[in-house]
C-alpha cells in the first residue's frame, strides 16, 4: 500500500490555450522558483504568495505536510524540468515536471495577473490540466501467434478510463481477470519506480499454456486527477476503485472472446482489501484473488510503514520520522472522530480528508470475505513491509475451514511480488524487476481449476 492516496492541494481547475510569450517566460520562472522553494523547505515564502482563496483553504503547515507526504512516498526531490505554461481566463497555468528519488510528479501552479498563487496541485506525471494522458500500451508488442493487445474503454461518460485487454492466442472464449489497483493514482501497469507488476501479470497469464485474458486500466485518480481533486472531500473507495472494477467486469461480460461465467477479480494491496466487497456486489464474479491485501485498517498500516522506513536509517529516515509524528496524531484523532466536526486540511492524514478514512473504516474485509460464496486465492510476499504477514495471518485465521479458500506465502517476494534478498526497502522499486513467474503460474492454475458457475 502506497503512503498517499491523493497528493492534491486545493486550487482551480484548468484547460487552457497558449499564454503570451512574455507572460509565459515570467510565469515559467515564477513556477520554477516556487518549486525550488518548496524543495528547500521554504514553505513560508510560497504561502506568502497565495491569493485570498488559497490562504483560506490551505495553511503553511498543510502545504508542508503534503510536500512531506510526497517525499515519504517518492523519496527526496532531485530536479525539475522547464515549466510548460498555458493560459486559462485570467490565469497562467504552469506545469513543472519534477523528479524525485523513486519517481516523478508534476507540480501544477496557477498564477493570477499579479503573480499570486491561485491554485497548486501535485499530480501524476503526464497530466495535462489535471486530466492524465493514458499510459502507453505495453512494449514490446506480443509476437505473432502469441497473446495480443486490444485497447478498450472501461466505464462511460466523464469517468471513462482507457484500458488494455490482453487476449491469449486463439479465439476463446477465455477465462479472464480484472486487475484492481492499490492506493494512489496509478496507471494501467501499476507502475512503481522501474517496475510494472500489472503488465508483467498480463503477459504471463495470457501466455501460451495458460490462456487467461487480463484487463487492466488507468485508475480514476490518475486519469481524472483534477476532477477527483475538486471533490476530494466526498470521495470514497466506491468512486476511487469499486465502481470502475465493476465496470471492467461488465465490459468483459459482453466481450465475444471472454467466457462470462469465468471472470475473476485480482486486487493488489488496497484493491485486494476491497476485492471481497467488489465480489459481494456482483454475484457473477467467478472468484477473487487477493495480492498482498491488507486486512487491518489503512491508517494502522501507514504508521507501521513510516516506522519501518525510519528504522532503515539513511536520508529518508528523518523525513519518515517527522511524518510519523504527524500521522500518529491524525490517526488518533480519526479513531476518536464521529465525523461531526471535520478536521482542518493541515490535520488530515497524509493529505487525505477524514471523510475518506471514516467511510473506509465502516468496511470489514474479513467479515465480507467470510460471507462470500465465491472461491478466493490469497497470496502474500514474505518480504513485504507495506502489507505484512500480520495481515496474511488475519485472512488465514478468519477464513480457516471455509471451503474454496487457498492461501500461499512466498518468503522471498516483496509487496509487488518481485524477488529479492534481505530487508525490503523503498529503493528496491527503482531497480527493474518482474513479478515472479511462480505467482503467475499459481494464479493461472487456480483459475483453470475453478469450474464455471451453473446457470
CATH number, domain with residue 413: 3.40.50.1820
| Selected residue with higher pLDDT from 29 and 454 | 29
C-beta separation of 229 from 8 below 8 A? yes
Which pLDDT value is given to residue 246?
Answer: 98
Judge whether residue 16 has pLDDT over 70.
no
Please spell the DSSP secondary structure of 175-225, one letter per residue: EEEEEE--SSS--TT--BTTB-HHHHHHHHHTSTTT--EEEEE--HHHHTH
CATH of the domain at 120: 3.10.450.590
- The verdict on residue 1 lying in a domain is no
Instruction: Give the C-alpha separation, 350 to 46, whole Å.
Output: 20
Judge whether residue 237 has pLDDT over 60.
yes
| 284 shares its domain with 220 | yes
294 is in which domain, residue-wise? 148-449
- The verdict on residue 135 lying in a domain is no
**Active-site residue (options: 92, 268, 415, 424):** 415
Angle (nearest 5°) at CA 431 between 435 and 204 = 20
Span 126-175, pLDDT tens digits: 654 444 444 444 444 444 457 899 999 999 998 999 999 999 999 889 99
Span 281-300, pLDDT tens digits: 999 999 999 999 999 999 89
C-beta separation of 184 from 4 below 8 A? yes
Which pLDDT value is given to residue 374?
Answer: 97
Residue 89 pLDDT class (50, 70, 90 cuts): low
- The verdict on residue 347 lying in a domain is yes
**Active-site residue (options: 384, 391, 414, 436):** 384
| 261 shares its domain with 391 | yes
Q: Which of 170, 160, 269 is nearest to 213 (CA)?
A: 170
| 386 shares its domain with 257 | yes
415 contacts: CB under 8 Å, gap ≥ 6: 1, 269, 292, 381, 384, 385, 386, 387, 424
Q: How would you label 284-296 residue by residue, b for 16+ Cβ within 10 Å and e otherwise? A: ebbbbbbbbbbbb
Q: From 101, 130, 159, give the residue that closes a domain.
A: 130
| 311 shares its domain with 431 | yes
- The verdict on residue 359 lying in a domain is yes
| 75 shares its domain with 189 | no
Instruction: Decide: helix, strand or coil at residue 344.
Output: coil
Q: Which of 161, 188, 193 is nearest to 75 (CA)?
A: 193
415 is an active site residue: yes
- The verdict on residue 401 lying in a domain is yes
- The verdict on residue 8 lying in a domain is no
| 110 shares its domain with 178 | no
The grid cell for 415 is 509487496
**Active-site residue (options: 129, 135, 183, 269):** 269
| 335 shares its domain with 439 | yes
384 is an active site residue: yes
- The verdict on residue 9 lying in a domain is no
| 184 shares its domain with 73 | no
| DSSP conformational letter for 386 | S
161 contacts: CB under 8 Å, gap ≥ 6: 153, 154, 155, 217, 218, 219, 220, 223, 244
Which pLDDT value is given to residue 33?
Answer: 95
| 278 shares its domain with 352 | yes
Q: How would you label 332-351 residue by residue, b for 16+ Cβ within 10 Å and e otherwise? A: eebeebeeeeebebbbbbbb
Look at the chain and report how many structural domains it folds into.
2
The CB density around residue 311, as the number of other CB atoms within 10 Å, is: 12
Angle, nearest 10°, between helix axes 298-311 and 317-336?
160
Cis peptide before 223 (omega within 30 of 0): no
- Give just the sign of the alpha carbon dihedral 5, 10, 15, 20: negative
- The verdict on residue 336 lying in a domain is yes
Which pLDDT value is given to residue 455?
Answer: 53
Which pLDDT value is given to residue 212?
Answer: 97
Amino acid at each position: 500500500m502506497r503512503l498517499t492516496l491523493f497528493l492534491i492541494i486545493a486550487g482551480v481547475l484548468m484547460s487552457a490555450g497558449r499564454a503570451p510569450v512574455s507572460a509565459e517566460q515570467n510565469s515559467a520562472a515564477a513556477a520554477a522558483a516556487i518549486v525550488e522553494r518548496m524543495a528547500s523547505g521554504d514553505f513560508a515564502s510560497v504561502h506568502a504568495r497565495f491569493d485570498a482563496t488559497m490562504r483560506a483553504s490551505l495553511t503553511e503547515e498543510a502545504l508542508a505536510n503534503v510536500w512531506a507526504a510526497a517525499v515519504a512516498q517518492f523519496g527526496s526531490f532531485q530536479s525539475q524540468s522547464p515549466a510548460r505554461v498555458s493560459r486559462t481566463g485570467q490565469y497562467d497555468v504552469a506545469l513543472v515536471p519534477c523528479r524525485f528519488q523513486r519517481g516523478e510528479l508534476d507540480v501544477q501552479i496557477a498564477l493570477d495577473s499579479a503573480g499570486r498563487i491561485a491554485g497548486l496541485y501535485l499530480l501524476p506525471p503526464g497530466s495535462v490540466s489535471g486530466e492524465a494522458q493514458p499510459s502507453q500500451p505495453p512494449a514490446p508488442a506480443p509476437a505473432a501467434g502469441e497473446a495480443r493487445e486490444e485497447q478498450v474503454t472501461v466505464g462511460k461518460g466523464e469517468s471513462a478510463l482507457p484500458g488494455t485487454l490482453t487476449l491469449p492466442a486463439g479465439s476463446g472464449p477465455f477465462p479472464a481477470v480484472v486487475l484492481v489497483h492499490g492506493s494512489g493514482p496509478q496507471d494501467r501497469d501499476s507502475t512503481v519506480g522501474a517496475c510494472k507488476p500489472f503488465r508483467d501479470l498480463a503477459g504471463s497469464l495470457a501466455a501460451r499454456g495458460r490462456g487467461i485474458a487480463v484487463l487492466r486500466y488507468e485508475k480514476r485518480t490518475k486519469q481524472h486527477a483534477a476532477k477527483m481533486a475538486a471533490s476530494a472531500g466526498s470521495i470514497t473507495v466506491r468512486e476511487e476503485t469499486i465502481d470502475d472494477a465493476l465496470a471492467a467486469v461488465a465490459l468483459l461480460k459482453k466481450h465475444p472472446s471472454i467466457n462470462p461465467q469465468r471472470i475473476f477479480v485480482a486486487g493488489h494491496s488496497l484493491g485486494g482489501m476491497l476485492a471481497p466487497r467488489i465480489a459481494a456486489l456482483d454475484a457473477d464474479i467467478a472468484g477473487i484473488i487477493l495480492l498482498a491485501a491488507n486486512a487491518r485498517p489503512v491508517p494502522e498500516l501507514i504508521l507501521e510503514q513510516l516506522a519501518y522506513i525510519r528504522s532503515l536509517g539513511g536520508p529518508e529516515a528523518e523525513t519518515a520520522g517527522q511524518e510519523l509524528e504527524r500521522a500518529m496524531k491524525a490517526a488518533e484523532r480519526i479513531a476518536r472522530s464521529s465525523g461531526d466536526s471535520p478536521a482542518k486540511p493541515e490535520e488530515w492524514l497524509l493529505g487525505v480528508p477524514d471523510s475518506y478514512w471514516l467511510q473506509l473504516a465502516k468496511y470489514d474485509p474479513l467479515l465480507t470475505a467470510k460471507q462470500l460464496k465465491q472461491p478466493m486465492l490469497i497470496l502474500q510476499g514474505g518480504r513485504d513491509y507495506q502489507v505484512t504477514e500480520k495481515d496474511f495471518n488475519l485472512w488465514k485465521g478468519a477464513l480457516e475451514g471455509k471451503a474454496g479458500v487457498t492461501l500461499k506465502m512466498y518468503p522471498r517476494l516483496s509487496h509487488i511480488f518481485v524477488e529479492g534478498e534481505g530487508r525490503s526497502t523503498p529503493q528496491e522499486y527503482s531497480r527493474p524487476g518482474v513479478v515472479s513467474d511462480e505467482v503467475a503460474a499459481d494464479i493461472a492454475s487456480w483459475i483453470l481449476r475453478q469450474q464455471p458457475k451453473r446457470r
